[in-house]
Structure 1
Amino acid sequence: MSEKQCIKTPPITIASGVNIIKYACLADRCQEGFEKWGDARRHMKNVCHVEGKPKMSDSAEKASRFFTTKPDYVDPTLESRFSGKLKTDHAPSETELVDLVKDYYSKGSDSENHRKHVMSRVIRPTYGHFEFHKFGFGTFEEFSKRHGLEVYRN
């Protein structure tokens, strides 16, 4: 292995707060992170000269240790309001939720079948599994009516 020490890649997150660094170099002194396994393998072979065939699972485990980010401060009122299930470091604004719903609606058909899944396919995977009213904007039906969004009722 080369004595060159790589620079640690800063954690990169997408809007939902999910870390996109999935793999890390397996060289002892390297803390370089990668989104794609192929990039990680090329780096290990060409830059750090890791001997043998690196294991993807080992690389993913190292990446999870080095690049998992947690917010420095989480508002305790958010913790209690969302029963510790909020996936992001802040609750979304009403505008953020409207934009999220409109974006989902625009990507599918106008059918009830598509629109009825907005909570399970967009809002809960992004923010967590709890009742919509905990955001502080009323029920999903009230929220949707207020913003002119069609809502499917069972």
Structure 2
Amino acid sequence: MTENRPELWIDADACPVRDEVFRVAERLSLVVHVVSNGARGIRLPAADWIRRVIVPEGPDAADDWIAEHIRRHDVCITADIPLAARCLQREARALAPNGRVWTTDNIGSALAGREVARHLREIGATTRGPAPMGGADRSRFLSALEAEVQSAIRAATAPVIRLWRPLED
């Protein structure tokens, strides 16, 4: 595993697609960081490329840790829209467990929709939660993960081309 290869970050406390991430990471020799609040009994395969990160209990502790450590071209797997936005700000990629790719083009409307839903809940309106994961969701996730990871690998390993040359003294 090389320094310029992207790494995968799992917001693990409620992630239903960890096994899928592990299969892709193992095949492509990528490091996976599994970040969670407390031990919570998350079972992980024994592999040197899987890094368990346990953060202290507290609101957004895992999100904060990921947002502080993720690098450009890395890929974060999260259902948390604000965390996805923070990853995009760091020039990383973000992918929801249902296969939705978060981009700078769609994250703003997702954040706005989340805020509207929060407001509706505050005033007592009934809102629906996320739909349960199905086979089509897992297939869509795997396809999106493969595409995002391959794109990240290409971007992270692309040579830097200078379009100018410094003036010589």
Task: Please give the TM-score of this superposition, normalised by the length of structure 2.
Answer: 0.21
Q: Which fold has the larger relative contact order, with Cα–Cα distance below 8 Å and residues 6 or more apart in sequence? A: 2
Task: Please give the TM-score of this superposition, normalised by the length of structure 1.
Answer: 0.22
More strand by proportion, 1 or 2?
2
Q: Give the number of the structure whose alpha-carbon radius of gyration is greater.
A: 1
